Structure 1
């Protein structure tokens, strides 16, 4: 008779050796590539590169702000995320529930970027708005699936590392969609810039095809089999876990956490141009140097969360994001001076990278793995919703006041976030799984 096989010891992610182990997992490399696919389209359809393109062809700030609202699908992805949680996409179901949606969404993003390459916004913005709507729907779906994939592919203790590698890939995507697209636009035109970005979407598509499907969640939740149940169960589960009062405060906190950063995003590209910098300057400082600074901040955030927990890191991140907006006053007071550009971008991207990883890890800890895509999509949508809508009218605010006044007002919006964090302080658990206590 053979000896009984010893149970396999669980992998430990405690201490610095555990942090290194988490960063070395195959899932971390997969998240690097999938994060790249999520980051690549964002600036091109929802943020600074698109607004710079529109300003470059002569559109006014008010119109640019309103056009940015065409990417609103990024804010509403929780509405169709229940379908992503419940069903595989029919035509690609052989890949599994998560990868079937992921492949279709990535192909949709590539198609949208390809079409945007041939739009002429200087002759009319109708076609551009239509394709931004299409690409943002595909991009939002891609983000929902990638977030769910990250949470399901590894244990809670490894989530800070996966959040950091995801953010690294995301930021590399931003480098190419920002600096890369601007360099190409400067020397070859906007059409070639968008075509080059379309080709780069092949990398995350290949990652999806060769990655493994996450294991199905363990039994423990009885799912309604009807169509309506797919939508209401994830939301009911969130409030059952946290209670109504704590659940509402958590949603408010997440919604306001990055508000100071989100509200100025649309105006960043026009501000750089109006401050006297060329597209090449913007590409070098903001989209190349700045994004690498953001990557450093992201990894710092991942290590700090793994080592010290959420409480203090959430507070430090919120204050840092608000203070980074004040750094833009240097550029407003010293236009065309490259040192002021570097100083502002250093503060902004370092704090953004740090805060982004802290928030991603915290939101991951709040999700139920039976409803990962839906609950995380709700949290991410809330994290972007208030700033996105205010950003839509930010051009009118700048025209009525000034860039300096706008940056100062945006920094002050951190006050409600800090008040909510003070109330949540005793509810945030500092164990290795993170999360909250009801």
Structure 2
């Protein structure tokens, strides 16, 4: 009854009601816990190494850190199916979340005691283990968000709150950490951040966890796969063998690269950019594309009624039970996807690959654009992008959460894609001198405000452009996380969400080399026009997916504005 009343509240009242929910409070905390180590290990750590006068070539040892996040889906099946000894009583997801947070706290505290000049080997090992624990935490927190959503703390609200926590952590682990380091020391900063994560880990013990019955629906009967009408064990094990070999190859390939990256000789370390560009697509083909085709084949023969058990065939050995367990972990998440979505999975994958490309693909070139092309100072860029920009992003996230409750998920998703694409034109204007941005800033009185606060009047147009883009990215981010969370199944949320979120980063990562060359050859203006056009491709896919979901809703007799 309370849930129904909460859903009747319009707009901001519904958002505020959801934010008062205990689950939303822990979602904010977990979002912060997910964003803090990412900021500390992939950004701020390099400032510490620079201050310690560690040369750039030696810093290449940290190339493995980003890979932990890019390929986190490779160990996600274990997180969906394996329990930590003695900790299962904490809950299906909480056992991993709390463990990862406490381990991260310990890693950061120990890291604070090391000198990167004299103990670089231990320093890099701890940073790599920290990245692995952080990526693991991300997988399980994403699954937790999907699993605990209800009619009050909806998946849309939880997704928005998660991103807010994540962005606050980016500010704390980035700008605030730099501020503290300037006034204290880097060991003090990392000791403080480690202590914060230890406190979060302890607080996480009191978080609600997944309703066990939701997970157990997929594994309540250990012999469910062997009942009459199920696929024969021979067919299942053939599929498992093929998928297992592909995933095994991917794990070994990434693992070998990480070990080589830890080599003491800088000249022996592989190029991480080249690895991602060449092996990244192959890993995705091996772990996503081919297994999806195998899953489609399994769904097809099951629906045709061939190769099915005519009577129950219970497992007779530990090996049979282990194979069933592996099948549930590796193959069933994909057969569930294919079975529910069918050919629409192609639309979903295309949307996932392209939705965030407009901001992801050129993000690496933002600082060269601000500092080199536009000739702003580091202090000006810090104020515009880190402080003012983060504030605008938070406004965008809040607005995205509001629009999700008012317009619906698909309308907000499409609007976010359009705005994220269109705001690239703001930067195109800056690349041509920023006449439009300056005129808007002058007319709105923003230039006067910046001047009164002691800023350069020309800084106002950069702040206007960053504000416009970050508000758009906030709306798009809130809608996109909500969309991804809505299409995964609760029983397989860790694997399915990890796959989708990893694909989100793929095209942007692979396209940066080509984009850098285009900037050198043609300049920034043409690049921003191109990213705008690419963004409109994502808008078209949103419309197709919106139409597909609308048809499904009508077929089921459900009418929901905006999807």
Residue matched to 1:379: 500
Aligned counterparts of 2:531 and 2:124: Cα–Cα separation in 1: 27
Answer whether contact 1:254 1:382 (CA < 8 A) is retained: yes
The one-character-per-residue Cα deviations of 1:116-168 (angstroms, maximum 9, x if unpaired) are 66788899998776555433322111111111111222216612121222122
Q: Which residue pairs with 2:385 in the alignment?
A: 286
Residue 233 (structure 1) shift: 0.9
Residue 70 of structure 1, CA deviation: 3.9
Matched ranges for 1:231-310 at <5 A: 231-243=330-342, 245-274=343-372, 276-310=375-409
Correspondence for 1:221: 218
User: 1:241-276 CA distances to partner (integer Å, 9 max, x unpaired)?
Assistant: 111x10121022012100111112333345444455
Using the TM superposition, give the Cα deviation of residue 215 of structure 1 relative to its aligned residue in structure 2, in angstroms. Answer: 1.2
Structure number with higher relative contact order (C-alpha < 8 Å, ≥ 6 residues apart):
1
Residues 1:65 and 1:279: Cα distance change in structure 2 (over 3 Å): farther
Aligned pair in 2 of structure 1 residues 408, 72: CA closer, same or farther (>3 Å)? Answer: farther
- What secondary structure sits across from 1:425 in the alignment? helix
Q: Match of 2:143, SS?
A: helix
Partner of 1:152: 147
Over 3 Å counting, the alpha-carbon distance change for 1:205 and 1:324 in structure 2 is farther
Equivalent in 8, 14, 17 of residue 8 of structure 2:
14
What is the rounded CA distance, in whole Å, between the counterparts of 1:206 and 1:434 in structure 2? Answer: 41
Output one character per residue of 1:66-119: Cα deviation in whole Å (capped at 9) or x when no partner: 966741222222222121112222253332221111122223433554566678
CA distance in 1, matches of 2:148, 2:560: 15
Structure 1: gaps of 5 or more residues: 1-7
Matched, 1:100 2:113: no
* Alignment RMSD: 3.7
Deviates most, 195-204 or 317-326: 195-204
The structure 1 residue matched to 2:80, chosen from 85, 95, 112, is 85
Q: Which residue of 2 aligns with 1:5?
A: none
> Following the alignment from structure 2 to structure 1, what is the Cα–Cα distance between the partners of residues 100 and 459?
39
Aligned-residue offset at 1:388: 2.7
Where does residue 322 of structure 1 map in the other structure? 421
Higher radius of gyration, 1 or 2: 2
1:149 and 1:188, CA in 2 relative to 1: closer, same or farther beyond 3 A?
Answer: same
Q: Which residue of 2 aligns with 1:166?
A: 162
2:17 and 2:160 mapped to 1: Cα distance?
13
- More displaced stretch, 202-211 vs 306-315: 202-211
Shift of 1:372: 1.4
Asked whether the 8 Å contact 1:71–1:133 carries over to 2, the reply is no
Q: Which structure 2 residues correspond to residues 130-149 of structure 1 after superposition, within 5 A?
A: 131-149=126-144
Change (3 A) 1:52 1:310: farther
Deviation of 1:45 (Å): 2.9
Alpha-carbon distance in structure 2 between the residues aligned to 1:117 and 1:273: 31
Instruction: Name the TM-score, length of structure 1 as normaliser.
Output: 0.83
> TM-score, normalised on structure 2?
0.66
Pair 51,257 (structure 1): closer, same or farther in 2 beyond 3 Å: farther
